[in-house]
Structure 1
Amino acid sequence: MKNVTIALEENVAKWAKVWAAKHDSSLSRMLGNELKTKMNLDLDYDRAKKSFLSKKPQLLSSPGDKYPSRESLYD
């Protein structure tokens, strides 16, 4: 684990300490879990984007075919 120092507004620090205590946790663990969650969401998004972009684009219709008219799609 890596120790870091952060600066919080006094009211935010007080609220965070109370929240952590109510949830039988420490402020350090609470912040660590939140940051890990955000990191995992970011990594999941990057993986999904990479997977999507790695696939070859597909045509929606055969060459020369006309797309349906807007009216026929939204009747």
Structure 2
Amino acid sequence: MKNVTVTMEDSVAEWVRLEAARRNTSVSRLVGEMLAEKMRHDDAYERAMQDWLSRERTWQTDGQSYPSRSESAT
């Protein structure tokens, strides 16, 4: 574990203190959990994007633009 100093606006500090109290945890633990969740979310998004980009494309186009929504509904 690393200790860090975080600078934030007074209103944000007040909110995080209240939120930590509501969750019966410390500000430090709450901020750490929020950052860990953000990291997991970003990592999952990056993996999904890389998976999508690495897929072999099965659709082909002859260079024409896609049909409009009204054209494709018929």
Normalised TM-score (structure 2): 0.75
Aligned counterparts, 1:1-75, within 5 A: 1-60=1-60, 72-75=71-74
**Which segments of structure 1 move beyond 3 Å, counting only runs of 4 or more?**
69-72
Computed over aligned residues only, the root mean square deviation of the Cα atoms, in angstroms, reads: 2.6
Larger Rg: 1
Q: Give the match's secondary structure for 1:36.
A: helix
Structure 1 residues 11, 73: closer, same or farther in 2, change over 3 A?
closer
Q: Give the match's secondary structure for 1:33.
A: helix
Q: What are structure 2's unaligned runs of at least 5 residues?
A: none
Q: CA deviation at 1:19?
A: 1.5
Q: What are structure 1's unaligned runs of at least 5 residues?
A: 64-68
Aligned residues: 72
Q: CA deviation at 1:60?
A: 4.2
Between the two proteins, what is the percent identity of the paired residues?
35
Partner of residue 66, structure 1: none
Q: Which amino acid is 1:58 matched to?
A: T
After superposition, give the CA deviation of every residue in 1:12-54 in whole Å (9 maximum; x if it has no partner): 2122112201210100111111111111111001101111111
